[in-house]
Structure 1
Amino acid sequence: MTQTVAGTAVRQLVEAGVRTAYTVPGESFLPLLDAWEAEHGVRLVSTRHESGAAFMAEAEAKLTGRPALALASRGPGAANLAIGVHTARQDQTPLIAILGQVESGARGRESFQEVDLAAMYAPLTGWAREARAAEEVPSLLAEAHRAATGPRPGPVALAVPADFWTAAYDEGMPLAPGGDQHAQTARSSGESADESADGLAEHLAGLLSSAHRPVAICGPGDRVGRETLRAACEAAGFGVYSAFRRQDCFDEDHPHFLGHLGLGVPAQVRQALDEADLVMVLGTRLDAITAQDHRYPLPHQHLVLVGTGLPRPRHPGLTTVLDADPHAVLAALVRRATGATEAGYQGPRSPGAPQSARAAARERWERHHAAAVRYARPTGEATRPGTVHPAEVVTALRRLVPDDVILTNDAGNFSAFFHRHWGFRATHRLLAPCNGAMGYAVPAAVAAKLHRPRNTVVALVGDGGVLMTGQEIETAVRHAAPIVVLAFQNGMYGTIAMHQATSHGRLAGVDIGRLDLATWARGLGAEGFVLDDPARVEAVLAEALRCGRPCVVDVRTDPDVIAPGRRLSGLLEPAGHPT
């Protein structure tokens, strides 16, 4: 039976493990929508904005490790989708964007909503193409999947003219995306993946053995393997930092944990990284925030990159690249250490006693962090009447949620309280945009709940971010996805306000205004709660967590409490501009 291009594309995606398509439906890919809707065992999620669709697809892929699908129409739809695609690029998340294009006969004629989509998406993806003939769509889709799941995972974009979808396709399905022919391994000629990992682990073990103060900066827990990372650091004796917004890769109460390389990291937490002679970067690019505005690695430090397709940072010192699956290399490192122990090996042979250096670093971390996770309001941190302190909300939430909670985190100054006061365990899952994209948390929470319906899913977002994509709460209502949204409302774009206060001593264009977010949520079909009384923080959060429906907690916060340990008025007053 002759198949259409649309039907063939759907079968390819399904065989590759794709189960959800996120979209704002558009006329340029109607046959693809129809074919997807007719397919058994898949879900079509119609979102309220293409940015929500892209964030949902990115969050799903981050959670499952498999490429997710986002569909958008030509011109405006593709432009709206771009923010989530950029997020996937920065976070190295596999995502397939299929973009409807104008009809093939109308290309190049200033047609309605016509844009060169491949050129538009080229800087945002690792692979962007436009089909020039209907019969090449399936092969291009297979190529797109290979690129999305290649050595450096990330987003890809395929633009398809509207009339191609209904064209007949009877050439037989090309190799399904993700087929064995294209499996990525670390092996060299004649070696198995295990043999290659064992060889690299032996090399890494030698570097660690000769290091005085080795530390690791770790990326996504699913990429490095949470239990394997724990076993490896215990066996080899190195300390662990989590990369920016990758705190769920490691238990923060583990004695080898040294800190989170996010924003505003105190000097005492960075001290172990300053003193390190060997810095391993495991399964993540060394982005600007993780590298503390490109401070690290220091010139004298030996940088070791472990992972496939990692960009090599500018580093004047010695750099070693182990281009292999970091999970496999760490697992081999553990096997090697286990075998050595059974043979009488007594532990790391480092001449600099890294255990004592690491213990001192851990003590500094505990002094910095222990009080934060038990938060007791310091003197001078009172908030205005009718507001609550963000730190109290975060620490109360931490006490109430189960250990398998999934947290989605938006961009904004409110998130500094989350990173500072949470206290992560490796059983938690954190979905957060490393590129600082506002509006991520609510759509990401919807996708997380759809794919992990038994888990508690909590979105943390500011009032700026919730007004960008918060309408996806309606999507949660429609799909019966009971997420809990904590919307921290201080009436301003707090991050920009803090930068302006620090740089100029005055504010410009940062006002949002006070809103009734609880009533707004009810208008979208969700539950709404107001949290404005410090005495009721735990009670309101507990009620939201057990309500069993999508809900929004309107967390009223003091705009003067701009960041942990900082007051906006204190930043403005030196320039003579009190709040």
Structure 2
Amino acid sequence: MTTTTVEEMAAAFKEMGTPFIVGHPGGESVELMEAAKAQGMRFILMKQEVAGAMLAATWGEITGSPGVCLSTRGPGATNMVNGIAHAFLDRAPLIAITDRYSSPEQEVGIRQRLDQQAIMQPIVKWSTAIDAKVIKQQLRRAVRIATAYAPGPVHFDLPQSETKKPSGTSQNLPKLMPNYYHPKPDPRGIENAIAMINAADRPVLLVGLGTLWDNACPAMVTLAEHLGAPVLTTSKCKGAMPEDHLLRAGCIIGGLIERDLVSKADLIITIGLDAVELQPKGWPYTTKVLSFANHPSLDALVACNEEVIGALDPLLTAITENLPQGSGWGFDAAKTFRDRVHTALDTPATGLSPQRVVECARAIMPRDTIATCDAGASRLLVVQKWQSYGPREFLTSNGLGSMGFAIPGALAARLAHRDKPILAFTGDGGLLMAVADIHTAVRENLPIIILVFDDGEVGLIRTKQSIKGIDPYGVHIGGIDWEHLARGFGANGTNVDTEAGLIAALEQALKSNETTVIGVKIDASGYVDQFNALREL
């Protein structure tokens, strides 16, 4: 049976495990939407293309199956750029589709005509124009490239002339979803790594994204327990080790406070650490580094003396099996670090402090809550104060560090986890960048809880101004009634300024199982001291 290009695309997207397309369509994409509908797939209309790409990218992060987003040509394509850049720098598998004129119109017209492949090229792993004759090969290549380490976005430019053409026939096509086989490591190949660990009394583990890609979190925890080593994770890896584990120290933030812990170690073991997760500054340690990674580091290199490349789950298991029990120094070291961070963040406040907001939320929200977090001043506190207990239960934009992530990220989490509570932490500025998709949450029946740190300003920039001795200027927001804003979109909403009010609002939001916006008036006066204590700016 002959299939059209769009039918082949829709069938492939469903087969790879992504049962929806998200975005803001154009005239040339309606055929693809109709083909997806015939496959029983969902189309989720977003109010802004950036949010659509972020949602799709976050679905890819959570599930490993590339998310699919689309936009119209010209302004839609350029508007989607920030969301695709998020997928690129936050290592999320994504297939981004842009409409395009048919070839004759593309050659003779200029209105809304842009070289969309050239625009996308710096922020995608591969960009191609769809051709009906080879669409089956293009789809297979796209899936492999998007999911290969490090994962990221690919771009399809879809000319109108190709949508309804019969798809070409091909012989001996590989499976759409590659099924890679990773043999157990050769004991001789890991002798040097074992010798380095055996020679260390005080190893420390720095854990990054590759651990999640290989589903190697249990093996990493087992290694840490066997060695008795403290564990620092990147913010993207919160929950890779349950954060009430006694060896969990905290998150790497590129600040001075963590250097005291790491500098006490006589061996740094990095596991799946990607340079994009680190601050762009020189590696501050002279201690030997042993790197376990599932792909070679090729850009902004992570410093290491030995680099072992392989599938991390069997690799870490083999390493653990060949090591004697460690010294156990990490239990006291991790506790000392946690206590230091807590003290640094425990700044005085008049009214409700942002750190207390996070503590109250963690106390009320169920253990299996999925949290998303926007960029901004409050992110530092959420990363350190919120506890996650499983992989991919904390989602944030770290590589790109984009504001406007929390709401689309939360919607993706709701699509992936229908029965878990979803809590989006965002500042007032971050929420306003994605405010229209409160309506999406309501209309698409994707209930989430949105907790807004309302300090009436762009807090991170105000903090940097203060640290540099500059008076606040150009950063003020304020004056927003979150209750009425939410109700205008059909969501529940409330404004709170006390701990009791916050607790009651969270409990009511959980009970209602409806999208709820909780605007929390906070005293942000402690941000400067907190930043100075944790992280040099």
Q: Please, what TM-score do these two structures have when normalized by structure 1?
A: 0.85
Residue 231 of structure 1: how far off its partner (Å)? 0.7
Equivalent position of 1:408 in the other structure: 372
How many angstroms does 1:35 deviate by? 0.4
Q: Which amino acid aligns with 1:320?
A: E
- TM-fit CA distance, 1:280: 2.5
Q: Report what 1:243 is aligned to.
A: 234
Q: Which residue of 2 aligns with 1:232?
A: 223
Shift of 1:321: 2.4
Quick check: 69-78 or 301-310, which moved more? 301-310
Return the offset for 1:523: 0.6
Aligned residue among 433, 444, 462 for 1:479: 444
Q: Find the residue that maps to 1:2 and give its secondary structure.
A: coil
- CA deviations on 1:53-83 (whole Å, 9 max, x unpaired) are 1111111111112211111121111112111
Deviates more, 1:136-145 or 1:61-70: 136-145
Deviation digits for residues 217-257 of structure 1 (CA, Å, limit 9, x no counterpart): 11246335322211111123432110133222112332322
Please say if residues 350 and 523 of structure 2, whose CA atoms lie closer than 8 Å, have aligned partners that are also in contact.
Answer: no
Matched, 1:215 2:179: no
Deviation at 1:305, TM superposition (A): 4.1
Task: Output one character per residue of 1:358-404: Cα deviation in whole Å (capped at 9) or x when no partner.
Answer: 344224213224568xx9x75x4223xxxx22122111111111111
Unaligned runs of 5+ in 1: 186-192, 338-345, 349-353, 568-579
Q: Which amino acid aligns with 1:225?
A: A
CA distance in 2, matches of 1:169, 1:494: 52
Q: Would the alpha carbon gap of residues 523 and 142 (structure 1) be closer, same or farther in structure 2, given more than 3 Å must change?
A: same
Q: Which residue of 2 aligns with 1:100?
A: 99
Counterpart of 2:363 in structure 1 is: 399
Which of 146, 149, 153 matches 2:147?
149
Paired amino acid for 2:380: A
Asked if 1:436 corresponds to 2:401, the answer is yes
Match of 2:325 in 1: 347
Q: CA offset at residue 266 of structure 1? A: 4.7
Map 1:37-186 to 2 at 5 A.
37-40=37-40, 42-131=41-130, 133-171=131-169, 175=173, 178-180=176-178, 183-184=179-180
Q: Is the 8 A contact 1:92 1:153 kept in 2?
A: yes
1:351 corresponds in structure 2 to none
- Once the two structures are TM-superposed, the CA of residue 330 in structure 1 deviates from its matched residue by 1.5
Residue identity (%): 26
Work out whether residues 218 and 241 of structure 1, in 8 Å CA contact, stay in contact via their aligned partners in 2. yes
Displacement after TM superposition at 1:283 (Å): 1.9
Letter in 1 for 2:248: F
In the alignment, what sits opposite 2:350? Answer: 382
Deviation at 1:566, TM superposition (A): 6.7
Give SS of 1:555's match: strand
Task: Check the 8 A contact 1:139/1:174 in 2, yes or no.
Answer: no
The question of whether the paired residues in 2 share the 8 Å contact of 1:58 and 1:88 is answered with yes
Q: Which residue of 2 aligns with 1:521?
A: 486
Aligned residue pairs, count:
529
Residue 516 (structure 1) shift: 0.8
**Cα deviation per residue 1:163-214 (whole Å; 9 max; x = unaligned)?**
110112251587366444xx445xxxxxxx2333755555432321123432
Cα gap change, 1:557/1:30 in structure 2, threshold over 3 Å: closer, same or farther?
same
- Native 8 Å contact 2:292 2:307 kept in 1: yes
RMSD over aligned Cα atoms: 2.5
SS in 1 for 2:80: helix
Q: Deviation per CA, 1:433-466: give whole Å up to 9, x if none.
A: 1121000000111121122110000000011111
AA matched with 1:282: I
TM-score normalised according to structure 2 size: 0.91
Say which is worse superposed, 208-217 or 475-484, in terms of deviation: 208-217
Whole-Å separation in 1 of the counterparts to 2:286 and 2:391: 36
Letter paired with 1:432: T
Select 1:548's aligned residue among 485, 488, 513: 513
Query: Helix, strand or coil: the match of 1:195?
Result: coil
- Bigger CA drift: 245-254 or 91-100? 245-254
Structure 2 residues not aligned, in runs of 5+? 533-537
Q: C-alpha distance in 2, partners of 1:27/1:368?
A: 56
| Cα gap change, 1:262 to 1:210, in 2 (>3 Å) | same
Counterpart pick for 1:420 among 365, 369, 384:
384
Contact in 2 for aligned 1:138/1:174 (Cα 8 Å): no
Which residue identity does 2:501 align to in structure 1?
R
Q: Secondary structure at the match of 2:184?
A: helix
Instruction: Give the conservation status (yes or no) of the 8 Å contact 1:60–1:451.
Output: yes
1:299, CA displacement in angstroms?
4.2
Q: Name the CA distance, whole Å, in 2 between partners of 1:314 and 1:68.
A: 28
Q: Which residue of 1 aligns with 2:24?
A: 24
- For residue 535 of structure 2, what is the aligned residue in structure 1? none
Amino acid at match of 1:14: K
| Aligned partner of 2:417 among 414, 437, 452 | 452
- Secondary structure in 2 aligned to 1:540? helix
Residue 362 (structure 1) aligns with:
334
- Segment drifting more, 239-248 vs 450-459: 239-248
Give secondary structure in 1 for the equivalent of 2:390. Answer: coil
